[in-house]
Amino acid sequence: MSMKKIAAFAGSTSSTSINKQLATYAAQQLENVAFDVLDLNAYKVPIFSEDVERENDYPEGAQLFNDDLDKYDGFIVSLAEHNGSYAAAFKNLFDWTSRKNREVFRNKPVLLMATSPGGRGGAGVLSTANGTFPHMGAKIVSNFSLPVFYDNFKEGEIVAEDKKNELKEAVATFEQAL
C-alpha cells in the first residue's frame, strides 16, 4: 500500500496568508502522510458568471485545480475570513471548480480550519463552510480555529499549549480518517 498524500491550502491568495501558514503547520504534524501545499494563485480564473461560462471555454485554472484535487486522499483547508465569509478569490475558484465536479472535495476527509488576527478565529467562515462543504463532497472529520493569530502563532508554530494540543488531536482524527 502506498503512502497517503493530502493537499493543504488556504482559502486565500495573500502572499503572507496566515491561513496558509496554519495549513502548512497542520500538514507538518501528520505522521505517516505525505503532503503538498497548494497556492490558489496558481489557479487563475475569471470572475464566475453564467455569461462568461457560456461564451468561453472552461477556465484553464479551474481545470488545473480540478485535476490537482483528483490526486489527493484528503485535504487540510484553512479559510481566510473576509467580512464573515469566504475570501472572494477562494469562493470564485470553488464556484468554477464545482461546475465541472460538484463533489469538489471528492468525498474525501477534510480537516477544516480558520485563523484570524481577532478573537473569533474565523468562526463565521467556519460556520458557513461546515454548512456548505458537505454538499460539495467534503467529509469534514475535524475542525480547528486559532484566534488571535499573531499572539498564538510565532516562528512557524502554535505557541499556545492548549491550542497546540487541540490541533494535534484534530490532525490525528484527520489522519485516522484517511
For residue 144, what is the domain's CATH number?
Answer: 3.40.50.360
Give the pLDDT band of residue 15 (cuts 50, 70, 90): very high
Q: At residue 172, does pLDDT exceed 80?
A: yes
137: Cα separation from own chain's centroid: 13
The C-alpha cell 477562494 sits at 90
Helix 60-69 and helix 88-100, axial crossing angle in degrees, nearest 10: 80
Q: How many domains does the chain have?
A: 1
Residue 29 sits in which domain range? 4-177
Number of Cβ atoms within 10 Å of the Cβ of 2: 6
Q: Are 80 and 125 spatial neighbours (Cβ–Cβ below 8 Å)?
A: yes
CA angle 152, 15, 83 (to 5 degrees): 65
Measured from the Cβ of residue 70, the count of other Cβ atoms closer than 10 Å reads: 9
CA distance 108 to 152: 29
Please write the tens of the pLDDT for every residue from 54-107.
Answer: 999 999 999 999 999 999 999 999 999 999 999 999 999 999 999 999 999 999
CB atoms closer than 10 angstroms to residue 41:
12
What is the per-residue pLDDT for 2? 80
Q: Which of 72, 74, 78, 85 is nearest to 10 (CA)?
A: 78
